[in-house]
Amino acid sequence: MTRCVVALAALLACRASAPAGPSSPSARPKVVEPSLASRPLPEASHRILPGPKAQVIAELTAASELAGYSCSADAQGDPSCQSDNNAPRFLVWLGDRDGTPSINLLVAARLPPQTTCDDISMALADQRIIHDVLTRCEGGEIGMAAGFAFPADGVELRELQRYRRVLETLLLYGLARVTNQLD
Amino acid sequence: MTIAPGPAKDVLARAVRAFELAGHRCTFDREGDAICDEKDQGTPTLVLSTLESGDKLGVSIASPRTPLPPGLSCAGIEALMTGARALVRDLHIECSDERIAIGGVIPIPDAGITVRDFNSSSRTIVALTSLVFLRLSARATSGDAR
């Protein structure tokens, strides 16, 4: 996948501050449709192509569900996904930079008790498993984001999932280190 | 698609398809196990296979048994993994004769398991196995002896 990291700092600031906990039933945003249950399973080589935003968002939502998340629409109408285990939250949304479309990924989690943003900055200082990732930590929460170019011939589903997985691993790596579970 | 109980070969095929939809790339070896190798993505080589215990069926996702890094013992690794076990449930570590395998088992209930639920569990196992191997690698690199 051609990768083009976009300036996500401003987006991280607002996205990472989104509520992390489960919403009450009345406040829970509506599920993004169509969900995985109403779509045929794609092949791993399936390409997500540029198109109308609602259609692309539906495909990105289905991809997130295939990876094991349950997704709802956030305040901007983009997929905000969680699962019932200890995995980070995962958000995906479309963007552009200088007219170039992009797919942006964000994983976020609350910091463990008694740890600070400085702790996690130190824990991740020597990470070597991923490049071009922006990290933002404030208010007891850490987010890691990466942006991909969204070319006219689309993005392969498998590649999208692989990059999401690497982001998740990196975030868990940082959290494990600040809690001394990895040192 | 639901991964339902059935012949082991069929169950594994469906599980591997689900696993690939989560971004993995797998091939089958001569024994019929699926080998998913993505070391370049920060994920260790993983082997998917079916397990049967009594009338219970499960899919195992684990690193292959590999020699322990120099200076590490099974007892030392068990101690190291105490914290890792707290991070993610259902971690399995097999360590004997100076060889180690790490992973987990996803049970296949009688009613089957959806792709989403299967991958929710598989993602957890993959993440933790990756963390454990990162840790072991760091220990081996730093020459920490136990």
Q: Quick check: A134 and A144 in contact, CB under 8 A?
A: yes
Domain boundaries, chain A: 9-178
Of A69, A70, A172, the CB nearest to B127: A172
How many independent structural domains does chain B possess?
Answer: 1
Least Cα distance to B34 among B60, B68, B65 occurs for B60
> What span, in angstroms and rounded, lies between the C-alpha atoms of B53 and A54?
46
| pLDDT number for residue B90 | 64
Please state which CATH number belongs to domain A9-178. 3.30.1460
Compute the nearest-CA separation of A137 from chain B (Å). 21
| pLDDT number for residue B5 | 93
> What span, in angstroms and rounded, lies between the C-alpha atoms of A109 and A172?
9
In this predicted structure, the answer to whether residue B45 has a pLDDT above a threshold of 50 is yes
Residue with tokens 């095929």: B13
Interface of A with B (CB under 8 A): 36, 41-42, 44, 65-70, 83-87, 129-130, 157-166, 168-170, 172-173, 176, 179-182
The overall longest dimension of chain B from CA atoms, in Å, is 48
Domain that holds residue B107: 2-142
Q: What is the mean pLDDT of chain A?
A: 75
Compute the nearest-CA separation of B86 from chain A (Å). 9
ipTM score: 0.80
In this predicted structure, the answer to whether residue A129 has a pLDDT above a threshold of 70 is no
Tokens of A9: 């700092």
Q: List pLDDT tens digits, range B87-132.
A: 555 678 888 877 888 888 899 999 999 999 999 889 888 887 887 7
**Of A37-41, A52-56, A162-166, B118-122, the least confident:** A37-41
| CATH number reported for the structural domain that contains residue B16 in this entry | 3.30.1460.10
| pLDDT number for residue A38 | 59
Q: What are phi and psi of B105, to 5 degrees?
A: -120, 130
Its sign, for the CA torsion A48, A52, A53, A55, is negative
| pLDDT number for residue B83 | 63
Q: List pLDDT tens digits, range A165-180.
A: 888 888 887 887 777 6
**What average pLDDT does the segment A31-48 reach?**
71
